[in-house]
Amino acid sequence: MYINITSTKNEKYKFFKSLKQKKIRMQSGLYTVEGIKSVSDAISADADIEAILISNSLYDSLNFTYPEGIPVYIVTDELFSGLSDTENPQGITAVIKKTKISKFIPDLSKAYIYCDHLQDPGNLGTIIRTADAAGFGGVLLSKECVDLYSPKTVRSSMGSFFHIPLYEEIDAGDITEYKRLGFSLVCGVLSDNTIDYTSADMTKPVIIAIGNEANGISEEILSLSDINVKIPIEGGAESLNAAVAAAVLMYETNRQRRTKG
């Protein structure tokens, strides 16, 4: 079904545009992904797509296979920019229904990354992408983390949003339970009470915690830590970006496990 949108007064247009707001995403249970690759990844992953929005010019030039039974809204180029969260939109967006994720059941053969109070959507999306690339079992988010369905989070994940399990509202009580099951909590911190990250045994069941960009890991989670690790800072930088630090720790975990295997 193909439907043209040519006016800002169109009710569907106004609704799709409102999905840029977290409040509307929460109320509707819908979110958006932008770009040809991200939309293609969503289709390949059998995401629950409610609609596809495409600019008039891209529709005329793009050879694209649309899923059967999903409405395709052809939007004038001028109006499409209002739907986008980017300065230079590619011209295609999918509206997707949030998937209800079942309770996290940890796998002792996997490593996991825990995001504690992370606030930057770009960092979260990059961590999701890196965790997928490094073969991690999933990404765990504390209750106070940035919105998982922020357009920037989804976009920064570069399709990995659909490839790796993502679990929200994981708190200290949950971490305590995972430790009881056999996981060690490894916290990346900048303090004297640490060891070099390459010295920590990441071959065993581990959950790696990365903290808030400004304040680090919360005291509540830090009190549960089994190992505090530090990535050496050799130059004049005060610290590493949260997503970069997470990448270093995840790939050290990956390296140790591949070496052991």
**What is the per-residue pLDDT across 179-234, written as a single tens digit (0 to 9) for each?**
999 999 999 997 778 999 999 999 999 999 999 988 899 999 999 999 999 999 88
Instruction: Please tell me the predicted confidence (pLDDT) of residue 130.
Output: 98
The predicted model scores a pTM of 0.92
Name the maximum alpha-carbon separation found in the chain.
Answer: 62
**In whole angstroms, what is the distance from residue 201 CA to residue 188 CA?**
14
Which amino acid is residue 60, in one-letter code?
D
Determine contact, residues 84/93, Cβ cutoff 8 Å: yes
For the chain, helix, strand, coil in percent to 5 are 35, 20, 45
Q: How many residues does the chain have?
A: 261
Secondary structure of residue 247 in the 3-state scheme = helix
Contacts of 146 (CB under 8 A, 6+ apart): 118, 119, 120, 121, 124, 153
Pairing of strands 195-196, 138-141: unpaired
Q: What average pLDDT does the chain have?
A: 93
Confidence of residue 59 (pLDDT cuts 50, 70, 90): very high
* Residue with token string 């994940």: 157
CA 181 vs CA 80, 108, 142, 177: distances in Å: 49, 8, 19, 6
Instruction: Please tell me the predicted confidence (pLDDT) of residue 103.
Output: 81
Closest CA to 121 of 94, 85, 83: 85
Q: At residue 101, does pLDDT exceed 80?
A: no
Q: How far apart are the two ends of the chain, measured CA to CA in Å?
A: 51
Backbone angles phi, psi at 25, to 5 degrees: -60, -40
Instruction: Please tell me the predicted confidence (pLDDT) of residue 193.
Output: 84
**In whole angstroms, what is the distance from residue 261 CA to residue 257 CA?**
6
* Structural domains in the chain plus CATH codes: 2-97 (3.30.1330.30), 112-260 (3.40.1280.10)
Once rounded to an integer, what is the mean pLDDT over residues 156-181? 94
Confidence of residue 153 (pLDDT cuts 50, 70, 90): very high
* Residue with token string 């390949």: 44
